[in-house]
Structure 1
Amino acid sequence: MDGDAHVLPVRVYYEDTDFSARVYHASYLRFLERGRTELLRAVEVAQSDLHAQMGGLAFVVRRMNIDFLGAALMDDVLTVVTRSKEMRGASMILAQEVRRGEEVLVAADVMVACVREGRAVRIPDKLRAALTLPDR
C-alpha cells in the first residue's frame, strides 16, 4: 500500500502485445484484475478465502468505464494503482490507473458487486472497514 492506494508493478510481456508490440487493449483488463486482487491481499483478504470460508462469497465485475490514454510497449514496467472510491451496500467502485512512470496510460472506474449463489449480498463489515478510508 502507498497511502490510500495499492501499487502493483507489472512488466509487459510478448503475450500482452499485438502485432505492433503495443499492449493489446484486452491485456489491460488482466492488469486491472491483478490490481484489484492484490488490493484485497494487501488488506489481508484472499478471494479464495472469501469463497471457501464465507459460503461462496465472491466479487464480480458489474461495470467498467475505461479511458485508453496511451500505449504501453513490450518490456515496459508499468504500475497498476488501485484505490477504493465509493463503498455501497453490496458493491464498491474502485478507481484504477495503469501508469508508465508518471504517465497515466489507462484510467478506469470499476464497479464490483459482492455475490453469493448469484445474488447480491452486503459486503462483509470487516472487509468494508479495511477498504474504507476514514474521510470517505
Structure 2
Amino acid sequence: MSDGYEIRTDLAEMDLDRVHGWLSTDAYWALGRTRDNVGTAAAHSLNYGVFHGRGQVAYARVVTDRANFAWLCDVYVDRDHCGRGLGRMVVKAVNRDLDAFGVRRTLLATGTAHGVYEPLGFGPLPDPTMWMIRQEG
C-alpha cells in the first residue's frame, strides 16, 4: 500500500492485544470490552489490519454472511497514525472484498466519522422506521 502501510486480513497476524487496548480504552463504542470478547469477535469475523513496519496501526472488523449482508465495525486507527487516510484505505479494502462476495447491504454505526464513510458510498438508512434493535442492558 502507500507510504509503507499494508493491509493484512489473516487473523493470525492481528495484534489482538493491541486491538483490545485501543477498543477498550479509547473507542467510545467499546469502552471496557474484555480481551476475551475482542478475541471471540475477531474469530467469528473478517479482520482487516493496517500494518506499518512491524506493528499494527489500524483495525476493522466485518460481520457478514458473505452473500447478502455485512456489518462494518470496530474501525480504529492508532492516534499516532491518524490523518493519513488509513481509515479510508481499510474501508476501501472492505468494500472491495464485500463487492466480490456479492454483498449488497453493508451497515455501520458512527458518531464521529461520517465524513470518512460518505465518500465511500455510505449514507443514512433509506427508511430507518423499518429497522429494529434488540439490546441487552
Question: Do both share a fold (TM > 0.5)?
Answer: no
Report the structure number with the largest CA radius of gyration: 1
The higher-RCO structure (CA 8 Å, 6+ apart) is 1
Q: Which has the higher strand share?
A: 1
TM-score by length of 1: 0.28
TM-score by length of 2: 0.28
